[in-house]
Amino acid sequence: MEEPVIAQRTPYLKEMTPSAYYWCRCGRSKSQPFCDSSHKGTGFAPLAVTITESKRVAFCGCKHTGTPPSCDGTHAKLPK
């Protein structure tokens, strides 16, 4: 399977309000950390995320997290 593009090597910290969102898994979106359909033609699809209360979220920016869509620190272990 194709590897995702590393959008950034730190999390995207976002103040979120209750709603449905689509987290970008491919790393190609220009609307990071959310999907803008740049994955078309790849083996990637966005991840549907439902936020039920207003809160700050650390979305993974490297796209290699083991706990999508949340950052788990994997970016610190990726080769430069």
pTM of the model: 0.94
User: Look-up: residue for tokens 């969102």?
Assistant: 21
* pLDDT of 1: 67
CA distances from 76 to 61, 65, 70 (A): 11, 11, 14
Segment 22-53, tens digit of pLDDT? 999 999 999 999 999 999 999 999 999 999 99
- Taking 90 as the threshold, does the pLDDT of residue 73 lie above it? yes
22 bridge partner residues: 48
User: Look-up: residue for tokens 């999907």?
Assistant: 35
Q: Confidence band (pLDDT; 50, 70, 90) for 80?
A: confident
Mean pLDDT on 64-71: 98
8-24 burial, b for 16+ CB within 10 Å, e for fewer? eeebbeeeeeeeebbbb
Task: State how far the Cα of 21 lies from the Cα of 51, in Å rounded to an integer.
Answer: 8
* pLDDT of 25: 98
How many other CB atoms sit within 10 Å of the CB of residue 6?
13
Higher pLDDT: 2 or 70? It is 70
